[in-house]
Structure 1
Amino acid sequence: MYWQGELQGGILLRRYKRFLADVVLDSGEEVTVHCPNTGAMTGCDVPGSRVWMSVSANPKRKYSMTWELLETATGANVCIHSALANDLVDEALQAGGISALAAYPNWQREKKLASGSRIDFYAPAAGELPECYVEVKSVTLDCGGGLGAFPDAVSKRASRHIEDLLELRRQGARVVLLFAVLHEGIQRVMPAAHIDPVYTRTLQAAFGTGLEVIAYRAEITLEQMVLTAPLTVEI
């Protein structure tokens, strides 16, 4: 995916109220920008970090700029706009870029289940392939040494999504958890047991009963972002 227009650079002053951040632009102007991330953003909201924002042409927006990227102290690019993970996965699925799922010709987004829940992606059965459900999680938590983890805060919702996938598995479907790693410094992924032990236990149990778990890292530049590299997942 390409960014809409040229990204504007600056230095992060602070993030607050979850959805807001103050930034000093390269021009020297101090502005408040929208922060499109509801998570803890551990390690990704450090004051003094180099950041980049997109600019909306919508005159009705209170804050015209949206924080998209930051550069870590080690020079790695990170996308903090967590909702873009599904857009990246959508592009990769449609292009056959995720090898484990490339045999499915048709993908739908936001598949509604009988329970009322929604799963991020669905592919109907194709030939000998069973129908397939894919839930996507964005990973930006860097634990050091190239290790990334999910989640970055306790998430009952993430555990519930795994339980939804397990129920679909019991009904005969193929179920996949896909970690979209939006941090270029991460080389492998694991559940964050030190943050959410319940999620970790839920994931480990599901993995033992048929849940597939895969991870892909994004290549991130000031022009575009694309999922490219499969990573090892340590369950």
Structure 2
Amino acid sequence: MQFSPPLQSATLIKRYKRFLADVVTSDGQQLTLHCANTGAMTGCATPGDTVWYSTSANVKRKYAHSWELSETQTGDWICVNTLRANQLVREAIEQQAIAELSGYSKLSGEVRYGSENSRIDLLLQADNRPDCYIEVKSVTLLQQGRGYFPDAVTLRGQKHLRELQAMAAQGQRTVLFFAVLHSGIETVTSAHHIDPRYAELLTQVQQQGVEVICYGARLSAEGIWLTKSLPLLPR
């Protein structure tokens, strides 16, 4: 995924009301950015960090600028725009960059499925093989040198695991895809200390056939690209 034009930088003053952040540019201009992230953003929104933002050409938008990346004061790059995860995984599949998900002829997004009124992020289909249901999650929480998901209790995430488990029981291929969008994360595990029910469900659904794929990314003001498979560690 290439940013065109490249992102612009500013210094974070504060994030507030979940969807807003105040920043100051190098020339002293203060801006309010839209933040497309409803999570806790632990470690991703420290005042003084460098914020990288895009600007929309849509004149009807109340906030023209969107917070895309954080560059921490320790040098890590983090994608805080959670909308990017699905886009990145879709792009990588289309470019045959994820070996585990190659060989399908059709790719669809936001398809309704399951008994709990869900939409699957990505659906892969091909003749003579089961459909592949892919739920994408963005991993940005780094603690004690390890990446964790989720960063807050997620009832929605628990529902997604149940839906994947049900589809696996029907003989379909199901995948939980962790897009690791933090340059400092090299391994991933479930955040049992944050959402123990999610961690328990993750172990359960893996035992019943749900695959977990983790990929790290290269992040910069020019773009984001999924680059390599990362290990999922037991909790």
TM range (shorter): over 0.9
Normalising by structure 2, report the TM-score.
Answer: 0.96
Question: Percent same amino acid among aligned pairs?
Answer: 48
Q: Aligned pairs, how many?
A: 233
Partner of 1:149, secondary structure, is: strand
| Partner Cα distance (1:26, 1:9) in 2 | 8
The answer (yes or no) to whether the contact 2:48–2:73 under 8 Å persists in 1 is no
| CA drift at 1:175 | 0.5
Partner of 2:43: 43
1:173-211 CA distance string (max 9 Å, x none)? 010100001111100100100100000000001111111
**Residue type of the partner of 1:200?**
A
Q: How does 1:23-102 map to 2 (within 5 A)?
A: 23-102=23-102
Q: State the match for 1:184 in structure 2.
A: 183
Q: 1:214 to 1:114 in 2, by over 3 A?
A: closer
Deviations 1:57-89 (A, max 9, x none): 211112111111111232111110001100000
Contact 1:108 1:121 in 2 (8 A): yes
Q: Structure 1: which amino acid aligns with 2:13?
A: L
Q: Which residue of 2 aligns with 1:174?
A: 173
Map 1:115-154 → 2, pairs under 5 A: 115=115, 116-127=117-128, 129-145=129-145, 147-154=146-153
2:8–2:221: 8 Å Cα contact kept in structure 1?
Answer: no
Equivalent residues of 2:42, 2:151 under 8 A apart: yes
Asked whether the 8 Å contact 2:216–2:226 carries over to 1, the reply is yes
State the partner residue of 1:160.
159
Across the aligned residues of Structure 1 and Structure 2, the Cα RMSD in angstroms comes to: 1.1
Residue 43 of structure 1, CA deviation: 0.5
The secondary structure found in structure 2 opposite 1:90 is helix
Indicate conservation of the 8 Å contact 1:125/1:132, yes or no: no
Gaps of 5+ in 1: none
AA paired with 1:17? Answer: K
Amino acid at match of 2:232: V
Secondary structure (helix, strand or coil) at the match of 2:134 reads strand
User: Residues 25-83 of structure 1: CA distance to partner in whole angstroms, max 9, x if unpaired?
Assistant: 11211111111111110110101111111111211112111111111232111110001
> SS in structure 2 opposite 1:232?
coil
Q: SS where residue 230 of structure 2 aligns? A: strand
What is the TM-score normalised by the length of structure 1? 0.96
Find the aligned partners of 1:231 and 1:126 in 2 and give their Cα distance.
30
Instruction: Give structure 2 stretches of 5+ with no counterpart.
Output: none
